[in-house]
Amino acid sequence: NAGVTQTPKFQVLKTGQSMTLQCAQDMNHEYMSWYRQDPGMGLRLIHYSVGAGITDQGEVPNGYNVSRSTTEDFPLRLLSAAPSQTSVYFCASSYSRGRGGYTFGSGTRLTVV
């Protein structure tokens, strides 16, 4: 059981470039989310999805797009990378909000230069 798989683990982008962070889960979880972690800021919600075809914005959605065409996959797209998007990105999934909490991936460390 792989859980939540994020790729790539590391990425360096130039300002203005676009890229997609991949997230896949094999637990048949309905809920999936993207968070970013910055020093001294904890984890902040970017976008989330409650099922295939349904997405919504979190706390810091600007500069990011998501889609959920299947239950398993929830990619995060950076449209035009900016240095402010340098961060560690975590994808998470869950059956429900309460019991057992979210299962997190191991993260993608992104640097925008």
Site for another protein in 79-108 (CB under 8 A): 90, 92, 94, 96-107
- Rounded Cα gap, residues 63 and 33, in angstroms: 16
- Rounded Cα gap, residues 57 and 80, in angstroms: 18
Do the strands 42-51 and 54-57 form a parallel or antiparallel pair, or are they unpaired? antiparallel
Q: Residue 14 or residue 98: which is nearer to another protein going by CB?
A: 98
Q: Is 85 helix (H, G, I), strand (E, B) or coil?
A: helix
> Which of 13, 6, 21 has the alpha carbon at shortest distance from 75?
21
- Least distance between another protein and beta carbon 4 (Å): 7
Site for another protein in 22-81 (CB under 8 A): 31, 33, 35, 40-45, 48, 50, 56, 58-59
- Least distance between another protein and beta carbon 65 (Å): 18
Interface ranges with another protein (CB under 8 A): 4, 31, 33, 35, 40-45, 48, 50, 56, 58-59, 90, 92, 94, 96-107
